[in-house]
Structure 1
Amino acid sequence: MIYFVYILHCSDNTYYTGITNHLNRRIEEHQSGKNFNSYTSRRLPVQLVYYCTFTNVEVAIAKEKQIKKWSKAKKEALINNEFDKLPNLAKKKFPHKK
């Protein structure tokens, strides 16, 4: 079975990261807004901006959890295929001490 880790761009300019084994169906579920308590239902419309595939569900879940912790800038670097920027983008920036 194939598993998809995906990122949606929401109407409020935020990102939602998820995992599924049926990407098209899952995007349609997000777009329908039928789960009123979901993050995306209040931020419609949403647009698929990134996905990657896995054959191992545990690896896919780990990747989803990793991406969810990333900063917006780091997610945008991934979306834009700017892989060289990923190591230098951190969730929090701390000032250098002198």
Structure 2
Amino acid sequence: MVQSNNHYFYVLLCADNTFYAGYTTDLTRRLAEHNSGKGAKYTRLKKRRPTKMIHHEVFKTKSDAMKKEYAFKQLTRLKKEAYLADN
């Protein structure tokens, strides 16, 4: 098993036009898991797939990436859209 030194906060755009935010050390693997229905409970619903990765940020620690994920999830939809447009 290959361990990544990078930790990622990422945002998916789901087929139903909702956002999903998450954490991973492997963006490619994680996107494949979401689209296969084996990812998070949120993306297992067929109406949410396929998903498209629209944003990601790299962090040196898991803690920092998860703090960013949490902060993003606290935003309103409009503020999430503004954040994604600015970044």
TM-score interval, normalised by the smaller of the two chains: 0.7 to 0.9
Higher radius of gyration, 1 or 2: 1
Q: What is the DSSP-based 3-state SS (H/G/I as helix, E as strand, rest coil) of the residue aligned with 2:71?
A: helix
For the residues of structure 1 that align with 2:53 and 2:33, how far apart are their CA atoms?
Answer: 12
Structure (1 or 2) with the greater helix fraction: 2
1:66 alignment partner in structure 2: 71
- Aligned match for 1:39, one of 25, 39, 42: 42
1:22 alignment partner in structure 2: 26
Q: TM-score, normalised by structure 2?
A: 0.85
> What is the identity percentage for the equivalent residue pairs of Structure 1 and Structure 2?
37
Larger relative contact order (C-alpha < 8 A, sep ≥ 6)? 2
Q: CA deviation at 1:34?
A: 2.8
For the residues of structure 1 that align with 2:55 and 2:18, how far apart are their CA atoms?
Answer: 14
* Structure 1: runs of 5 or more not aligned: 83-98
2:73 maps to amino acid: K
Pairwise CA RMSD? 1.5
Q: CA deviation at 1:45?
A: 1.0
Q: CA deviation at 1:80?
A: 1.3
Q: CA deviation at 1:56?
A: 1.5
For the residues of structure 1 that align with 2:20 and 2:80, how far apart are their CA atoms?
Answer: 10
Q: What is the DSSP-based 3-state SS (H/G/I as helix, E as strand, rest coil) of the residue aligned with 1:11?
A: coil
Flag as ranges the 4+ runs of structure 1 deviating above 3 A.
Answer: none
Which moves more between the two structures, 55-64 or 15-24?
A: 55-64
2:9 alignment partner in structure 1: 5
For the residues of structure 1 that align with 2:25 and 2:65, how far apart are their CA atoms?
Answer: 10
